[in-house]
Amino acid sequence: MGCKQRNPPHRHLRRHSNHIRRWRSSPRQRPERDHLATNTSPIMNSNTSAQLLDTGNLVLRDVPTGNVIWDSFSYPTNIFIPGMKHYENMSMSSWRSPSDPAVGNFTAALRALSIPQSMVWKNGMPHWRSGPYNGNFFIGIKEMYLAYPGGGFRVENDSGGIYFTSPTLRFLTKTELNLAGSLVQYLWDDRNKSWEVTWASIESECDLYGKCGPFGICNPLNFAICTCLRGFEPANRDEWKNGNWTSGCTRRTELQCDRENQNGDDVFWRMPFIKVPDFAELYPARREDECRTVCLRNCSCLAYSHDANIGCMFWVHETLIDIQQFNGVGPDIYIRLASSDLDRNKDKRLVIIIIIPVVVGFAFVSTCMFLAWCRLTKRKGRLIRDRKALETLQSADSSAIVLKDESEEINIEELPLFTFKTLADATNQFHEDNMLGKGGFGHVYKGTLANGKQVAVKRLSANSGQGGAEFRNEAVVISKVQHRNLVKLLGCCVEREEKMLVYEYMPNKSLDVCLFDPTHPLHKTLDWLKRFSIIEGIGRGLIYLHMESRLKIIHRDLKPSNVLLDGNWNPKISDFGMARIFGGNQDQANTAKVVGTYGYMAPEYAIDGRFSEKSDVYSFGVLMLEIVSGKKNTHYYNQDWSLSLLGCAWKLWTEGNGIAFADQTIANQDFEAEIVRCIHIALLCVQEFPKDRPAVQNVVSMLNHETVDLPLPEQPVAEKWDRSHVGSTQPIGKSGYSINELTITVLDGR
């Protein structure tokens, strides 16, 4: 039997020693053919041949008759490639773990009720939804034009029923259902020989199914992402104050149609640019006014929408679920409300009530306006002084960020502003019981705002001789980026001598807290799957900073204490005080002011002051080795071998005993191959010369097995350095970890 492998390599069959791992068939697959491919009965005999077609389909044929008895396209796993036909009764399923292709927690399939749409389920419960298919694309995906170049996914019909497919294009693409339940589309970059991410179904919390519950709408750009539709109010206000929106909203005013069996007093409220709710029903009207008329006549009709290709969409179920606000794309939806909820008559009465006292009391109003003008002038003068004070915090050194975006100055005033009193009340007057941590530039406190929202407040120490430029730098940089793996800046406070930044609160603290302290209660829960997910998330955050953000950003201080963990263990890169913004074509810069943390700084940066994307890749490599080993680079020293953490990883990996480097709580045979591969990738990242290190997008591809053959790394240079500046080292096996770090600034004349 001949074998053929297409370029690029696909991870559908995996070779282990001298055996080929069997092809797993997913459950719920076209039942009439399940008997051909099972986990126990053989599907090949001496009269069976296998052929890998140019489409990527593996076909088994009966030799005497030439009939196809099994093909891989009919039994998809976690990968969907062009040319496959995904019927309604077929489903993709995620892997159980990065190294275990057994059925995982997530399944994806085409759901064709009234209007076809793609769905992902988590253990049988809806997890993500594409929105209806309009003949060209799924209208519930805001990146629909970018995600499906050249026509993208299609829903078609044949004798086998409705199916989902993707045409074969001149470039290679694939879509994967990953371990987190996100459909990720990749494009093969032939120049770099790697898969590049072009789209992911889940980029924010709002992409999760029903995040805001019934009659709630999600907007990832809002401070509180969930709000109720107009005419509705929270079903459980206490839960909403605590950030739990799943109970949704209830109608404030009963519909007249329901109460009096008439429709004259019901109206429709237009909401533009919406991901329409689930359970839409089709009505073949072509004009929008027809949709309105039909919906108004049906008391069960809660809302309607119109698409030029679909026609009318109606919602006649008891709730509207999974609604998201888009920015500039998406259809309009019209929500049915009682007329009183639009307050039309009340607005007219309000105008009359306002006009009369204005006319009668003109002199009084004029006096009030004069007093208000005096007060505003005084306040404006204070704001100008605060702004000038803030601007003077910028260092005159050449390494400071040039805070311009296409010749337009970026002002700190673009951020939401908190008053000092608000933040003092939220943190109980900055009580030490609320302190989350401290650094060279001040302290971080846990706070609770008046609306119940928990936040983290970073307060610049008034006695600190440094940190002003870093404060301004961080405020500007992080306000311009948004990604699920970057910490979210909620606002700031610049009031007299006080300067504070307000972030979203991370319940699982920073990575160093639960990684390096074996006595911490969270340490035992940090299994390999969580660690691998954290590594992958950090990588995706760096991809965004280096490539996908409109501002190319180099972090320069990536370390465990600057990686925060939310309640679901999703990593969030934080602390952008040292970050640098690069120009459009700039890929390297020099500085006379070396800032960062020893142990995580790339050699060329620490010695010569040269930094680039590859500087962050080096720090990422060190971070990966720390996550795998559970040991801190700057506090680890093997006395027997006289090696640092990087040197120890190199020695054990080259001896074929890489698993001995791993934290013993995660070192087991089930994940050995993944752990050793992760060490291999980390060693590629910490090579001495930047040109030898992979780009961060290639690192993530390697982690996901999209790059099968990894290059051999060069020996890391770190153990050759003089480690006297690190402080006290800690031999293997010693307890008593410290999570304190030293962030340094070195001035070197050139």
Q: Which residues are catalytic?
A: 557
For 245, 248, 277, the CA distances from 213, given in Å and listed in that order, are: 6, 4, 11
Please report, for residues 52, 210, 290, 329, 507, the alpha-carbon distance to residue 22 in angstroms, rounded to integers and kept in the order given: 15, 37, 55, 44, 41
Angstrom distance (rounded) from CA 121 to CA 201: 13
499 is in an annotated binding site: no
H or E element in which residue 237 lies: helix 237-241
Q: Concatenated DSSP letters for 161-208?
A: EEEEE----SS-EEEEE-TTS-EEEEEEETTTTEEEEEEES-SSGGGS
Contact (CB, 8 A) for 24 and 37:
no
Phi, psi angle pair for 155, to nearest 5°: -115, 120
Mapping DSSP onto H, E and C, the string for 552-581 reads EEECCCCCHHHEEECCCCCEEECCCCCCEE
Per-residue tokens: 433: 């019981």
| Cis previous bond, 82, omega within 30 | no
Residue 709 DSSP symbol: S
Tokens read off for 97: 């773990």
Q: Indicate the angle between helix axes 645-654 and 672-685, nearest 10 degrees.
A: 120
For 507, half-sphere exposure in the C-beta direction (CA atoms, 13 angstrom radius) is: 8
User: How many C-beta atoms surround the C-beta of residue 529 within 10 A?
Assistant: 17
The whole-angstrom separation of Cα 30 and Cα 90 is 6
Phi, psi of 616 (to 5 degrees): -65, -35
Instruction: Report yes or no: 707 and 701 within 8 Å, Cβ to Cβ.
Output: yes
Helices (H), 74-213: 144-147
Residue 150's alpha-carbon distances to 171, 197, 695, in angstroms, are 10, 16, 28
Which pair of structure tokens corresponds to residue 469? Answer: 């430029």
- For residue 656, what are the β-bridge partners? none
Pairwise CA distance, residues 713 & 308, whole Å: 56
Burial of 61 (0-12, 13-18, 19+ CB in 10 A): middle
Rounded to whole angstroms, the Cα distance separating 485 from 203 reads: 9
- Binding-site residues for ATP, in ranges, read 458
- Binding-site residues, in ranges, read 458
